[in-house]
């Protein structure tokens, strides 16, 4: 081949991942799953709307993360990724309606973007699934997850950096809450489908460098969502909830949650053992259908 000849087309790992077929999911759930999820996110007897089906049961908006959940597809599909080096980087849920107490749902996950940091530096893989009612087709929520694949930089695609998140307000938090997690939180939360042994098996945890099994990042995410939604007026509903996971939390540890109130939402950051564990968080809300919109800001 002469220097002027075009290069032959070569498929890269980037191309293979972007074309990866993740199977669709069908999911039926009931009020028992709603209660189990709330328990895994720290709900207790003083929150009957979250754990008592005889009350007007409320579904935590963050429960969208476990609905029509594809499981550990990074490990279970032929991705070619080093699954042992993958950590959960962030999660966002967008909600188009209140989640029902029971349902029959469908979702089709897909990879939407890859931000390659280069050989030896890892890559961020962004996946998304839209959760729909299986009968009516109504879209209930969209879940976007970022995974940091520490052992998989240099995938062969474009080097597109991840946009930096907006800065937190440059002032003291409006409120700081202490969220207690239970010693049993990880053992309960894993029953929602995240059965990674890191959260239950001491040997796996020690191999990964932890003294004992760590709490699921999404359980901490649910603890925070539970605390923030308790501050909302009844005529408001959550439309978006997102944060980054930056340090592990052990079951039984407290999360110190800083909250900034803003028009139409809240910003937040969570600390544990002197480290930031949940960063660049935001919750957005809007009036429920039929509720007055209130004064514009």
pLDDT of residue 207: 86
Tallying the residues shown for the chain, one arrives at 297
Which pLDDT score is estimated for 9?
Answer: 44
Chain centroid to CA 161: 21
Residues tagged active-site: 194, 199
Q: Please report how the helices 217-229 and 31-40 are oriented relative to each other, as an axis angle in degrees rounded to 10.
A: 100
CA pair distance 6, 10, nearest whole angstrom = 12
How many CB atoms within 10 Å of residue 232?
A: 13
- Answer yes or no: are the C-beta atoms of 138 and 93 closer than 8 Å: no
The encoded tokens of residue 65 equal: 């993360």
Tell me the three-class secondary structure of 1-12, residue by residue. CCCCCCCCCCCC
From the list 41, 98, 66, the residue with the least C-alpha distance to 239 is 98
41: buried, middle or exposed (CB in 10 Å: 19+, 13-18, 0-12)?
A: buried
Angle at 11 between CA 10 and CA 12, to 5 degrees: 110
Over residues 189-220, the pLDDT tens digits come to 999 988 888 899 999 888 888 899 999 999 99
pLDDT number for residue 14: 93
Nearest to 215 by CA among 191, 240, 190: 190
According to DSSP, residue 85 is labeled G
C-alpha 128: how far from chain center: 11
Q: Which ranges of the chain have pLDDT less than 50?
A: 1-9, 292-297
- Name the DSSP letter for residue 247: S
Burial class of residue 154, CB neighbours in 10 A (0-12, 13-18, 19+): middle
What's the pLDDT at 295?
A: 38
* Cβ proximity of 38 and 99 under 8 Å: no
**In which residue are the tokens 């599909």 written?**
77
Closest CA relative to residue 34, chosen from 16, 52, 22: 52
Structure tokens at 231: 């501050």
What is the distance between the alpha carbons of residues 129 and 229, in angstroms, rounded to a whole number?
23
């Amino acid at each position: 081949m002469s220097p002027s000849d075009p290069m032959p087309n070569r498929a890269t790992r980037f191309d293979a991942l972007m074309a990866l077929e993740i199977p669709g999911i069908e999911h039926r759930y009931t009020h028992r799953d709603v209660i189990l999820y709330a328990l895994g996110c720290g709900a207790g007897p003083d929150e009957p709307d979250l754990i008592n089906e005889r009350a007007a049961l409320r579904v935590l908006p963050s429960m969208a993360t476990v609905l029509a959940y594809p499981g550990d597809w990074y490990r279970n599909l032929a991705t070619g990724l080093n699954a042992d080096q993958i950590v959960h980087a962030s999660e966002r849920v967008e909600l188009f309606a209140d989640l029902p107490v029971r349902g029959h749902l469908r979702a089709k996950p897909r990879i939407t973007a890859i931000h390659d940091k280069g050989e030896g530096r890892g890559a961020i893989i962004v996946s998304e699934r839209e959760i729909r009612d299986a009968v009516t087709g109504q879209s209930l929520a969209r879940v976007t997850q970022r995974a940091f694949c520490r052992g998989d930089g240099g995938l062969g695609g474009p080097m597109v950096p991840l946009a930096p998140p907006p800065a937190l307000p440059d002032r003291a938090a409006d409120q700081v809450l202490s969220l207690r997690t239970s010693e049993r939180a990880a053992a309960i939360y894993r029953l929602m489908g995240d059965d990674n042994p890191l959260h239950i098996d001491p040997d796996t945890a020690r191999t990964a460098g932890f003294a004992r099994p760590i709490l699921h990042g999404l359980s901490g995410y649910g603890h925070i969502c539970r605390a923030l939604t308790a501050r909302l007026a009844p005529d408001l509903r959550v439309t978006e909830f997102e944060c980054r996971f930056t340090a592990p939390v052990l079951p039984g540890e407290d999360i110190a949650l800083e909250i900034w109130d803003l028009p139409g939402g809240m910003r937040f950051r969570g600390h544990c053992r002197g480290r930031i564990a949940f960063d660049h968080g935001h919750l957005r809300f809007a009036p429920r259908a039929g509720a007055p919109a209130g004064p514009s800001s």
